[in-house]
Structure 1
């Protein structure tokens, strides 16, 4: 059964970003992947390269929406990086990834 990209967070999201970067959904690594979803120096270059659009939501708390590529694929999150990395993973693998 798959897992929704919108539910990925932390190291699990970072692993899927690495898999998207390598183009391999079955990639297995040892250790912890780079912090794509929490460090601008790591995730920022992907945002620029992929031209990911970031928008703030209208809710009272911090909320971000990111769009990557053509179509309706987007990512949301409490931080811009989380939203952007979810959008990036969704643009490569769809709205669900293998669980």
Structure 2
């Protein structure tokens, strides 16, 4: 079943997010009930709906992963300027 079908059957609004990080889940996804489920292989690989997840006394959600990009180390050239700035700021704070 698609998430759209489930939302229509339940008479609830379907909401979506862009890509999310395990370390920075937006509300109402930032609960243990959701974070323990949303990154499981079943949801990431099989693209199925989760079970109903309780995120509050009167609030439940169902999640479905549409797209997944595994965590990866950025190329050095992409972060070089950011690293240099961070090191300069760190050294400057030591000197002050």
TM-score, normalised via structure 1 length:
0.27
Structure having the higher Rg: 2
Bigger strand fraction: 1
Instruction: Tell me: higher relative CO, structure 1 or 2? Use CA pairs within 8 A at least 6 residues apart.
Output: 1
